[in-house]
Amino acid sequence: MIKTAIALYVRNEASDIAGWLAYHFAIGINTIFVFDDQSNDGTYEIIKSAANVFDVRYFRTDRDTITDHDVRHRKSLEYACTLAKGEFDWIGFLDADEYFYYEDETIEEFFSRLHNFEGIAINWCIYGSSGRVVKPRMPTVDAFRYRSKENFSENVLVKSFIRPDKFGDHYHGPHRFFGVADDKYADPNGEIIRWDASTNKNVSWKNARIMHFVCRSMEHYVERIKRRLGVDLSDSMAYWDLFNRNDEFDFCAERFLKSTYKNIALIQESAIKSNFINKLSNSDRGAKHALEKIHLSMKTDNKKDIYFNIRSKRIVFADETYNEADFLLKLDFFIVKGFPDFLHISFYDKNSQLDYFPLTLEGDRRQSFVLTYKIDYDKNSRFFSMRDPNSNTYIKSDNCLHQSEGLLKTGQRFKDHQCNFILFGDQNIVKESEGVRYLSYIDFLNTIRKSAEGIDVNDCIALANMMDEKDKATLETNFPGIFKAEL
């Protein structure tokens, strides 16, 4: 068995680090050595959560003692190679905006073809912004699907996998390692590299590439400029203009996407369970009580049932005679007792939650185990409507002509009959008071403590979703990297 590892040096990538780790374990990497450069946005907490379910070996750099960024980077990679010797056949060196992709059936087949070499230099494949301004909630490989052409000038740069003992003393960066003999350094096609400094101008993506998401969204880019202003970047659009290449659509990573999402689900579950629920549970040895919930069934105004479509990964409605019902999953609708202003939607069972994560609704940026919506009750009829808590727009059932199912989506500014839904179940949930009752931050913590014995991740997310913006911000600040993607 060929064992492979990756060394990652990272700082402040909370929005994308779970997806990065999830993807590389999905493609078959055995172990990831992560060197966190003192992140303060929740990145480190997510890394620790991932280590509960995958072989992530994490470390923190010493920015006070080693003030030069490049020195910290070199020492981190060198240490990773030291740890990898004798255990791993190959170790690769990537940044958090770089993703390794191969065309072979398995990662073992890729490295088996190149067993006679000691270093593999893989060319960049630059991806653009795909027109996105705001950070997407989905993983990078799913969100940004447009790339440069193969002959784009910056694709000549490479990243390497090497035998761990070939790191060498002559270090110039993570691209080319001079400890590897020239006749033992190949490209993914098995051709000896003809180096031009640390570049390979004979660019080929035939068997592998390093998907390099330099720009990502404009929001990513602004944060990157702020973080590296005066170090190696300036307050300018020049970097964006150079790398924002959206010449061709390329969704090569699709074959790994299902496993990537499942791994993200495992990481997010670990983050909430191990770093939040268990900590609060251990802080109070008193009697525990189960969270009181009212489970309901929900239909459209014309009594169509609501499901999750595993093909489109969207919430849809359909009648019982739909002949492709195997693609439709049952959903769980519930209200937390005492808080009738919020309806929560989640997967019905644990296996579906992990196999088909994330739960998504068209137009809603959240990707989560649970989606929470505000309820508007119509006391003069049996109907109710739902509003997106972020945009305050209505959810509507959008009929699709000549199809057996329709789509639920958010973004409806004014309520009409398509925004009407029916709840079947406990009729005592109808709200009598005026104004939305939110769960305070203190009450949220106390509820978790009191219910921790019987509470699960879905319940925890549902409770967090019922807080107002101020209390949500407090939760994100006090528990970084745990709840932000779910709220």
pLDDT, mean of residues 311-330: 84
pLDDT of residue 485: 66
pLDDT digits (tens, 9 = 90+) for 391-420: 899 999 988 755 778 999 999 999 998 999
Contact 438, 372 (CB under 8 A): no
Q: Contact 101/255 with Cβ under 8 angstroms?
A: no
Question: pLDDT tens digits for 192-232?
Answer: 999 999 999 999 999 999 999 999 999 999 988 887 776 67
C-beta separation of 91 from 4 below 8 A: yes
Which residue in the block uniquely carries the two structure tokens 């769960």?
Answer: 439
Q: List the domain boundaries for the chain.
A: 4-256, 283-478
Residue 398 to residue 201: CA distance in whole angstroms: 51
The Cα–Cα gap between 428 and 20 comes to: 45
State the architecture of 283-478 in CATH terms.
Trefoil (2.80)
390: Cβ contacts below 8 Å, ≥ 6 apart: 364, 365, 366
326 Cβ contact list (under 8 Å, min separation 6): none
Residue 471's pLDDT is what? 95
pLDDT at 428: 59
- Torsion angle (degrees, nearest 10) of CA 18, 21, 23, 29: -160
DSSP code per residue over 473-486: HHHHHHSTTTSTTT
Length of the chain: 487
Convert the pLDDT of each residue in 240-297 to its tens digit: 999 999 999 999 999 999 999 999 999 999 999 988 888 777 655 555 567 888 999 8
Runs of H (alpha helix) within 27-65:
43-50
> Is-contact 358 128, C-beta < 8 A?
no
pTM: 0.94
Answer with the residue of higher pLDDT: 425 or 160: 160
Instruction: Provide mean pLDDT across the span 328-337.
Output: 92
The enclosing H or E element of 317 equals strand 314-318
List helix spans (H) across 237-319.
238-243, 257-272, 278-282
Burial 183-220 (b: 16+ CB within 10 A, else e): ebbbbbeeeebeeeebbbeebbbebbbbbbbbbbbbeb
**422-444 pLDDT, tens digit each:** 988 765 565 555 678 999 999 99
DSSP 388-423: -TTT-PEEEEE--TTSSEEEEEEEESS--GGG-EEE
Q: What confidence score (pLDDT) does residue 122 get?
A: 98
Question: Regarding the domain delimited by 4-256, which CATH topology (the fold level of the hierarchy) does it fall under?
Answer: Spore Coat Polysaccharide Biosynthesis Protein SpsA; Chain A (3.90.550)
pLDDT in tens, 50-104: 999 999 999 999 999 999 989 999 999 999 999 999 999 999 999 999 999 999 9
SS3 call for 9: strand
Phi/psi at 455 (5° precision): -90, 150
Give me the mean pLDDT over the 133-139 stretch. Answer: 93
Residue 215 CB partners (closer than 8 Å, separation 6+): 127, 128, 129, 221, 240, 243, 244
Rounded CA separation 415/112 (Å): 60
In whole angstroms, what is the distance from residue 213 CA to residue 218 CA?
12
pLDDT value at residue 390 = 86
Of 30 and 68, which is predicted with more confidence?
Answer: 30
User: What mean pLDDT do residues 474-485 have?
Assistant: 87
Please state the three-class secondary structure of 100-128 as a single string: EEECCCCHHHHHHHCCCCCEEEEEEEEEC
Mean pLDDT of 133-159: 96
Give the pair of three-digit tokens for residue 131: 């027109």
Beta pairing, strands 383-387 & 421-424: antiparallel
Q: CA triplet 260, 263, 268: central angle to 5 degrees?
A: 125
* Average pLDDT over all residues of the chain: 91
